[in-house]
Structure 1
Amino acid sequence: MRQPFPTPLVAVEAAAAPRRGVTRVTPVEDTGVAERRADGWVYGVGTSAAEWRRVGAALVRALDEAAAAGGDTTFDVDVPVDADAYSFTLGLALGGYRFKVTGAEPAKRVKSVRLVGAVADEQVRRAVVEAGATAFARDLANAPSNVKDPAWLAAAVLKAARAVPGLDAVARDEKWLAAEGFGGVLAVGGGSVRPPRLIHLTWNGAQDGPHLVFVGKGITFDTGGISIKPADGMHLMRTDMAGGAAVAAAVIAIARLSLPVRVTALVPCAENHVSGSAYRPGDVVRHYGGRTTEVTNTDAEGRLVLADALAYAVANLAPDVLVDVATLTGAMKVSLGLRTGGLFASTDDLAARVTEAGAGVGETWWRMPLLADLADDVVSDKADLRQCPPGPGGITAALFLRHFTADLPWAHLDVAGPARAEKHYDEVTPGATGYATRTLIALADS
């Protein structure tokens, strides 16, 4: 018999009544756990992982609402023996996420939840670490860009990384980038008074085995540069470094979990601004390693910074697998909407691994083609490559990046749609979602 705790009990039933994801206050029967107060919250859930995430998220939102109205802030949750503890914990940990910069006194919220019953501790621990990584990625992406410049982003990531034993972390400044020849990063960041950075995280959890290198786009604000964006929606460009946030958060979580793998994260960070020193359409940029790109649209800046980092990884890190993550193209958002990420991959095996990894953690990927008949479109007659040819933008962006991967196994994850949310769904809240973070952790673990 567990010792009684003076906390209200939340009972979760694997049943269809009440309707899935809907709460009701009800008398709680004798659960065999401990003496409780006479009422609690009861949830009906289905059997899928998505339903368990959804009900965990709905539960914590309901409890937050009750806490704000003067209710309790600490709860025990009684879950059935057949519960998906991992998915339920993800929903609990992430469903109440919020990011708000305010001078007001914050409302009361849930402080802690203890799961009681037949719960797999390792599933819960894994979910808590992955939820923390997702929330960290959300925090970074939601931070306003008057605060979040490349130096701030690098400092925030390094502070988190250096708190994890065995995780090496360094940030390179603009002088180092210039000396090493990161022409894409320097061109994109040249219009801002706040100079670019390169974040480099290294986790050596194994002496052998494949070396995974994750590269994430870290554009801390994107005006579009000389090819300036429309005003509508530009405020959302504070999240244009969501790919970089996911990559950094994933590697920090991999280290926290002590996974026996070798993983490196590279996040090229810059602001794409308009000024007299901004790069122009028609410029030719020389990337790390010497390959050149003809600029045709300064608002297609993400592929320029990713190209530098991919080329650097190939030349210096001996990767066995490359994965890049970016809010890269509006075309992918139009194609797949707001809840599915675009997946391009050079091998069927890697595509299957990414898809399977995402399915296990609640992130959906749809494989897109690397069309051979469009390959020549990214070749320039003025430089080696053309940055932004006409045609299907998501595909040509991926074809451009492929030139910097040295034919290694490579996946490109375009998260322009699911990196941001406009409303609550499942464990997602409005704003930055942290999408791809958990997929990368699961991919490394595979």
Structure 2
Amino acid sequence: MSVSVSDAAASEVGSGRFLRFWTAQTVSQAGQRFGLVALPVVAIDTLHAGAAEVGYLTAALTVCYLLIGLPAGAWVDRWSKRSTMIAAAVVRAAVLAGIPVLWAFDRLSLVWLYAVAVIVGVASVFFDVAYQSYVPFIVADKDIERANARLESSAQISAAGGPAVAGLLLKAVSAPVVIAVDALAYVVCAGFLTTVKDSEPSRRAKEGEDSRLARDILDGVRFVVGHPVLRRLCVTVGVSNFFATLAMTLTPLLILRTLGLGSTVMGVVLGVGTLGGLLASLTLPKVRARFDAGKVMAVGLVLAGFSMAAFPLAGTLAGSATVIPVALLVLGQFGMTWGAVTFNIAQVSVRQRVCPKNMLARMTASIRFVVWGSMPVAAVLAGWLGTHIGIVPCLWIGVVGGFLTALPVIGMDRLIRSAAPAPASGV
């Protein structure tokens, strides 16, 4: 049975339920950006981690998609997605709050940091699967792309302001203290989510399906593999994330050690650069009104790959005037996030439109199993390559691989047009 948003107010992107959800996600994103800047700084500056240890930390945050990504999708399709997000936010707040506590008592170590990263990663799996499956239950199908664009715009504002503010805070207080802001943001996020009402039914109660987990997981995987649009998107996003992770894992080391710019400059560079993502989210609805989704996705990926080259290029200028590598990093981050966000909004919206609503979580989890599952492998590989061949050569490998990611989406518009909006599936 097809599920739709029942009341007229909920069909609009400006409705109260969407605005409260949007606020919750914005607060969560802002805090998360603090953590993304502060965690590697804790590892590098406080615990004296090298390239390999930073790679392990990134892997700890993402390996959970390989371990529980697929069953998470089956579970979230059974559970209330809103309740799942609330629980995940609370768990992340609790474990992140432990970092400044352990640091204050001189008990913080890399082992503890890895453990916190794994727990945060597990909670993030459930939150992200529920989050990307939730939008069709609070807005009408015609508003999905606009809703995703607005959500992404706030994410990019957070990405722009979060690292910059974190960088300034890191100048005044220690990195473990900055992570406490991340924990507080998740508490606020959970509070706003408790006020959101949606049209999601109790799937098991209404459909009376058996509760075998293995069957649900297999149904989700088969659906993605058998769907021509979702299959290509899965390959594209998986390859893209692999090479982006390869490059981005070593970016803090590039900025802090190779270029010697310091954590404050790192936060400002990443924050200012990600304004490109905000521009992408604001312009995408108009771009999509003129061009098909496949073309938009391909151009976004090519732009991201081209812009990523600024990072290793800046690394070759170590020892030169500071303004030159900083300018390259800002321009590279600006273009990379512009292209990546353009691609991401378009591909997520396509996925949500072609997938039955009662398969959304399993579809999302199946794709994220591949996408995020590739990230710990790339992170560990980045640590090994950074140690053995150097940071800059490893970044160039990421750039070359980034250009390859556009290949699966070339000529994809015909497939998208032939994929009519899907009704609820019996699988």
Q: Which structure shows the bigger proportion of residues in helix conformation? A: 2
Higher-RCO chain (CA-CA 8 Å, sequence separation at least 6):
2
Larger radius of gyration: 1
